[in-house]
Structure 1
Amino acid sequence: MSPLAPSTAAMLLADARLPSGGHAHSAGVEPALLSGMAPAELPALLRARAATTTLVEAGTAVAARHAALDGGDLDAVEAAWAARTPSRALRDAARLLARGYLRVGGELLPGDAIIAAWRERPTPPPRPCVLGVIAAGLELPPLELARLVVYEDLQAAAAAVLKLEPRDPLDLVSMVAGLCAEADEHLIAIARITDPAEIPAPSAPQSEAWAEVHARSTRRLFRA
């Protein structure tokens, strides 16, 4: 059992300064801007992401948490996530980010058999699965885990905006707070997920197409 209180664990995992590699991810912002989206449309982009891709990630994390605690099938959770993430570029990015979280999980939960086994895999599971297992080990409640996933995703986007389209950081704080509040109404249902089949499956085809183009670009700051 981790000595960290669940609230402290949540703050640690949500901290943008956590050295897990999240700074390599723009949460779809760079692909959209490089594909010609106007900077003024960033709030709409992130609002759409919070209602689609981010909810898939949150649901996957909650399902993985339940599987880790209940002896469930984590491979089924990963397969459900992959079925809901049709873009190979986004799947690759999620697995790349997972490597950082696996390192963090190894430090926080050195005796966790799942994390130890996953660290030996040639191809790691996706980030939300790893977050779910870490949350199980740190006794983080499912609703707080879902909120963590939403916040972390939107914060990654906000951090990327400051590099790509600099603006007043306080404007981004307000945007992230507002979008988290909007997403919260969906998270009660997300937190009740126990079966991978219950993970929501909203799609974001334009963002997925942008991600595929971005993956082939040689002029980019972020992996995705």
Structure 2
Amino acid sequence: MSALLLLLADGRFPTGGHAHSGGAEAAVKAGRIHDAPTLAAFLTGRLHTTGLTAAALAAAAAAPGADPDALDGAADARTPSPALRATSRRLGRQLLRAALAAWPHPALTELRTQYPRGAHHPVVLGRTALAAGLAPADAARLAAYESVNGPATACVRLLGLDPYEVAAVLAALAPQLDTVAAEAALAAERGELPAASAPLLDIHAEQHSTWKVRLFAS
């Protein structure tokens, strides 16, 4: 595995992702996540819906001849929640800043010029993979991994779950993660981007955005 792939997957890479729970905070408050088994169910659903969609968008954006503007529009159309759209663009802007420092590349400069307030995160992730010399399949793996790792880590803080139990949940999900990433990369290669959705994530995101007191930004 490329060291660059490991660097981008590292939660310490300065993209601001640690401040977001991926919908886990709202799911915890709603009682949908309260222990390791319910966390596993939440992550499985997230991986096969928004995770699959994000992974395909990232893989498509990592192709040298990709059209970032068309893909950003596709990401917008697949994100019905205004709160989640804003979060995706904020995370995209933060990732782009880190990526430009690490891998200066015309594809990233173009994104910064075209989207000063941030392109959607999967699009930036894909263009970052391209700039770093990674393949579209690598971009799909990164997006799929991020779709479950962020919420899992957040639940350690939100619920005080045993970190070893949470690590075991992620390990058990690894085969599904590989399958979803491969499916997403193939869909991107064929130009058939999926639009799998999770309506409860959209509803919870809108509710979460109105909270006056919260631990995570989203």
TM-score (norm 2): 0.91
Separation in structure 1 between the aligned mates of residue 202 and residue 51 of structure 2, nearest angstrom: 13
Separation in structure 2 between the aligned mates of residue 82 and residue 138 of structure 1, nearest angstrom: 25
* Gapped regions of structure 1 (runs ≥ 5): 1-5
Aligned residue for 2:62, secondary structure, equals helix
Identity over aligned pairs, percent? 38
Match of 1:113 among 106, 109, 123: 106
1:196 Cα deviation (Å)? 8.9
How many residues are paired up?
215
8 Å CA contact 2:52, 2:144 repeated in 1: yes
Task: Write out per-residue CA displacement over residues 153-178 of structure 1, whole angstroms, 9 at most, x where no aligned residue.
Answer: 22211221111001211111111122
Corresponding residue for 2:183?
189
- Written as runs of structure 1 = structure 2, the 5 A alignment for 1:54-133 is 54-66=51-63, 69-70=64-65, 72-110=66-104, 112-120=105-113, 121-133=115-127
1:38 Cα deviation (Å)? 4.3
8 Å CA contact 1:80, 1:196 repeated in 2: no
Match of 1:34 among 12, 21, 29: 29
Aligned-residue CA RMSD (Å): 1.8
Q: 4+ residue runs of structure 1 moved beyond 6 angstroms?
A: none
Is the aligned partner of 1:152 residue 2:146? yes
1:104 Cα deviation (Å)? 1.3
1:194 Cα deviation (Å)? 4.1
1:184 Cα deviation (Å)? 1.8
Residues 8 and 126 (structure 1 numbering): CA distance in 2 closer, same or farther, change over 3 Å?
Answer: same
* Gapped regions of structure 2 (runs ≥ 5): none
Separation in structure 1 between the aligned mates of residue 47 and residue 160 of structure 2, nearest angstrom: 22
Separation in structure 1 between the aligned mates of residue 147 and residue 198 of structure 2, nearest angstrom: 15
8 Å CA contact 1:50, 1:179 repeated in 2: no
Corresponding residue for 1:143?
137
Name the aligned partner's letter for residue 40 of structure 2.
P
